[in-house]
Amino acid sequence: MCGIVGYIGYRDAYPILIKGLHRLEYRGYDSAGVALINNDSKLSVYKAKGKVQDLEDFAKDKNITGTIGIAHTRWATHGEPSNANAHPHYSQSESLALIHNGIIENYTVLKAELTSKGYTFHSSTDTEVLVQLIEYIKSTNHCDLFTAVQLALNQVIGAYAIAVIDKSDPDQIIAARKSSPLVVGIGEDEFFLASDASPIVEYTNKVIYLEDEEIVVIRRGEEPKIVTISNVVSTPHIQELKLSLSQLEKGGYPHFMLKEIFEQPETLQSCMSGRINVEGTNVTLSGIIDYKEKFVNARRIIIIACGTSWHAGLIGEYLIEEYCRIPVEVEYASEFRYRNPVIFPDDIVIAISQSGETADSLAAIELARKAGAFVYGVCNVVGSSIPRNTDSGSYTHCGPEIGVASTKAFTAQVTVLAMMALAIAKEKGTIEKDVYLKILKELQNIPNKIKEILKLNEDIKNLSSIFTYAHNFIYLGRGYSYPVALEGALKLKEISYIHAEGYPAAEMKHGPIALIDNEMPIVAIATNNAIYEKVVSNIQEIKARNGRVIAIVSDGDETIKELADHYIQIPSTLECLDPLLSTIPLQLLAYHVAVHKNRDVDMPRNLAKSVTVE
């Protein structure tokens, strides 16, 4: 969740660290801090509750010299957001400073032991326990910092990405990871460290992704040295970043979220590029082709995901069952990993995650692998943990997503799942050729149809101003539109803090209808599909109880336009691809409601982009 940045080289470290924190602020923004070994060899730690800008304001008149430093932006786990709980944390002698992303599960036991040995604590975090433990081991064993970190991590239970500096050795950073991401950037006579590549890409395109339980020693004038906590030497594998600096900027938009909504025609084109041939007659996913026997003979497919990715998985369930005739179960990764699920060796588990670092999904993957299942990843971030821990997979190629509320990642995931369903169905012979070709052709038309919907932005902005008063929303959909209703409700609650729930439209009569009155906005996804008439009946039931209906309708619809209080008209498409279009106005509606309510759209309270802890 939290964001980690480090630098050692010939430049002033502070500006690089601050810029890196701004790039990683989507990972957490409860507090921020920086530790520098100044030019006078003093170890200075500056930190502040709030956002990175609050840290900058605090540090503006401080000594920020030095060419080595570490920095952190926090999403609170242990301990409330405060100056004391902000990272970095000093050791007792103030010789060491440490930053940490993750959770140390046995910190209470370690803290009690250290307290008995005379150590005092100034925060309520698990992280301070770790830096005190490292110092205790270093002083009692008379060892170097690397050895102390290695020994300390062998006593730790939990997840971590850490970086440590020692004022007695201003030419070295020690970093390590387990279940939390960490990447090392290799420059000319300088090194960078970060939770992901976004703070690094401005300076170098050469990176090393650390694996679980690896420790890296980064020293001036030397190549990085990687050793496991079990003292096994690893050979660094340097990779080239496929990321541009322009992808990390707002590009004139007021928020990253709006930019990312408007990027979807291009991101879906990128997602399909090289996979659907120019003629639009065939889709090829190498991750499917290389293991086609696994998919053809699969007993069952289990999709595991969290949040928005779980909603994409529900659409994937509909697609795969309809066209591949394979039974599909969609599971919350957080529940799947703890309920002793029945998994067969001929099952396929599909893990969906934007970041590729979701802790619950990674744990569920490990469970599936131990049971002998084939595991397939659908992920956006190249080099992240899920692609490295699955048997095969597909990247969504939608570029970095900075806004905490996921938009373009969702539509890219649905696009990949649609292509997967078509590829598997073709191999199994469960789809007629004309249906296969019709869906492929229409899939290629989706980006242009999204462009048409985006032209409604101003209309949706004006519509949204009417509903800023609301305390509750209900979203309704049927069939493929039900997961869209769930996703639309999630977007609204995430960024506007309005309570919203998604329901299958027919389930309204089984409880939620009691909530309906003239103060309750109901968003009905009522596009033209096989059960259109049923949705019309549901809307009539709402209007009979004075509900206020905002309907998402297809081009040419007249019936629902007459019934609804407000409507948003979108291009028609095939029912199975409708979620790719109907979700766009819901993203815009949530965005504009939140802006009208003066919410921090890109960094909503209590949330972070990448959930790397339980």
Distance CA 270, CA 399 (A): 9
Q: Judge whether 609 counts as a catalytic residue.
A: yes
The C-alpha atoms of residue 430 and residue 460 are separated, in whole angstroms, by: 40
SS3 of 193-246: EECCCCCCCCCCCEEEECCCCEEEEEECCCCCEEEECCCCEECCCEEECCCCHH
* Residue 502, φ and ψ in degrees, nearest 5: -105, 140
Backbone angles phi, psi at 417, to 5 degrees: -65, -35
Output the CA–CA distances (angstroms, integers) from residue 145 to 69, 97, 354, in the order listed: 16, 12, 35
Place of tokens 């956002």: 51
- Set 2, 271, 306, 379: catalytic member: 2
- Please give the Cα distance from 152 to 128 (Å, whole number): 13
Sign of CA dihedral 222, 227, 231, 234: negative
The verdict on whether 242 is a catalytic residue reads no
> Cis before residue 571, ω within 30 degrees of 0?
no
Asked whether 82 and 128 are in contact (CB, 8 A), the reply is: no
Of the candidates 111, 138, 178, 609, the residue annotated as catalytic is 609
**Burial class (CB within 10 angstroms; exposed 0-12, middle 13-18, buried 19+) of 597:** middle
Q: How many H-runs (helices) and E-runs (strands) does the chain carry?
A: 20, 25
CB atoms closer than 10 angstroms to residue 242: 13
Residues tagged active-site = 2, 609
